[in-house]
Amino acid sequence: MRVVGVDLGDKRVGIAVSDSGRTTAVPSDVFVRSGNQNQDMKKLAKVIQEYEPKIVVVGTPVSLSGGSSKQTLRVNSEAKTLSKLLDAEVRLWDERFSSQQAERRLREGGHSSKSMRKIADAQAACIILQSWLDASTTQSADEE
């Protein structure tokens, strides 16, 4: 069963997908927002449905203190909308520093600032999803 990870940025949406064994996340897609939230959520739901996931992990921007911000509320609202459009469980996951980690990885890999813009959001979604997968694996092992 695959899991999809999503990074709901203001300008772009990054998507990552796990392997069927739910051990490894890979960047998948990035699309630029249209400015119409309803249209964007429908487009995102269509892309996600192609992977037939049972779980969709949405990165939630949490402040350094662990509190909510305007961005947190926006993402939580969009995640709720997305859950109504999908036949999958939508789970929120702390995304602190995922964008910075993604940019650092890409820079270390030799990408220019211009080329990073096209793929950084998918890389951030990958980091969010991999973090969730790792935590899920650890939790499952602890339960055994």
The CATH number for 3-143, chosen from 3.30.420.140, 3.10.20.30, 3.40.50.12170, 3.40.640.10, is 3.30.420.140
Least confident of 9-13, 77-81, 93-97, 113-117: 113-117
Mean pLDDT of the region 66-74: 83
Nearest alpha carbon to residue 9 among 60, 68, 55: 60
Q: Could you give the CA distance from residue 84 to residue 105 in angstroms, rounded to a whole number?
A: 34
pLDDT band of residue 96 (cuts 50, 70, 90) is low
3-class secondary structure, 60: strand
| pLDDT tens readout for residues 14-26 | 999 999 999 999 9
From first CA to last CA, the distance across the chain in angstroms is 20
Burial class (CB in 10 A: 0-12, 13-18, 19+), 95: buried
Domain ranges of the chain: 3-143
- Give the pairing type, strands 89-94 and 3-8: unpaired
pLDDT at 61 over 50: yes
How do residues 97-142 score in pLDDT, each as one tens digit?
556 665 666 566 666 666 556 677 888 899 899 989 999 876 554 4
In DSSP notation, 6-46 reads EEE-SSEEEEEEE-TTSS-EEEEEEEE--S-HHHHHHHHHH
